[in-house]
Structure formats: structure tokens, C-alpha cells
Amino acid sequence: MDAKEKFEQSLQSSENEQYILRLYITGITPRSTQAIANVKRICEEYLAGRYELEVIDIYQNPVLAKDEQIIAVPTLIKKLPLPLRRIIGDMSDTERILKGLDLRIKNDVQEKR
């Protein structure tokens, strides 16, 4: 199997992969609520049925901020599939989120070709 085939195969499999996402927010600020809404919308649209999203308020649990290396808020962490990604912001830029979640990689590759 050469590198190209391997790559194609991994792209195939990623479409069925389970996504584990964590969204870290700080209380009920407009930015937090906006981020939650945006993430939920995108997940439903692109990852329906194969994602798990947990929303965590770090005001409630500051130790988690340390453990998860949270600096900017809101932060969406894609724990799985690897590689780990952090998307920061109010999630208003859908293209960027999709890129961060590796959901646009196929198009990118095609464009490059």
C-alpha cells in the first residue's frame, strides 16, 4: 500500500469517525451562548449522530482550565479524532470551525490537485 492509498483510506474512514468535542465557556456571557449555539448548529449539520459535545463552564471548575490548557475563551477542543485541535472564538466563522474539525480537508486536498 503506498502513501497515497493510505491517505485516501484515512479520508474515507474519517467520514464515519466519532467526534468527541468539549466546549469551554465562562458563565452565561453573550459570547458563551453564541458559541454554544454555533457549535451545536454545526455539529448537527455536519456530524449528526456521530458526535459527543460537552459544554464546561470553567468558572465552576477552574482546575479544568489548567488541566486542559485553556487560555482563550470560548475554546472548542476536538479530542477525537486525533489530532487534537483547539478552536477559539465565538465560533461565528463556520469555515474556520470546519477546518479546525478537519471536515474541510477533503475539499482542500481536491483544490490542491
Partner 1 sequence: MSKTNSTEIYDSPLQKSPTGIEGVDDITLGGLPTGRSTLVCGGTGCGKTLFGIEFLVNGAVRYGEPGVLITFEETPDELNENVESLGIDLKELEAQKKIYIDYVYIEPSEIEESGDYDLEGLFIRIGHAIDSVGAKRIVLDTIESLFSGLPNKAILRAELHRLFRFLKNKGVTAVITGERADGTLTRHGLEEYISDCVILLDQRVENQLSVRRMRIIKYRGSLHGMDEYPFLIDDKGISVLPITSLEMEHDVSTERISTGIEGLDAMLGGGGYYKGSTIMISGTAGTGKTSIAASFARAACERGERCLYLAYEEAESQIIRNMHSIGLDLEPCINKGLLKIKSSRSTRYGLEMHLVMMHQLVNEFKPDVVVIDPITDYKNVGKDTDVKSMLTRFTNLLKAKKITILLTDLAHTETIAKTAVNISSLVDTWLLLRDIESNGERNRGIYILKSRGMAHSNHIREFRLTDEGIDLVDMYVGPGGMLTGSARYSQEALEKAEELVSRQEMEHKQRELERKRKILDARIIALQAEFEAEEEEINKFIMQREEKLKVLSSDRDEISKMGQADQRT
Cβ closest to partner 1, residue 26 vs residue 49: 26
Kindly determine how many residues on this chain lie close enough to bind partner 1 according to the rule CB under 8 A.
35
Measure the CA–CA gap between 45 and 42, rounded to whole angstroms. Answer: 5
Residue 3: exposure state from Cβ atoms within 10 A (0-12, 13-18, ≥19): exposed
| Dist CA 1 CA 65 (whole Å) | 42
The footprint of partner 1 on residues 77-96 (CB under 8 A) is: 83-94, 96
Contacting range for partner 1; rule: CB under 8 A; set: 3-11, 13-21, 46-54, 58-66: 58-66
Give SS3 for 65.
Answer: helix
Summarize as ranges the residues that interact with partner 1 (CB under 8 A).
24, 26, 31, 34-35, 38, 58-59, 62-63, 65-66, 69-75, 83-94, 96-97, 99-100
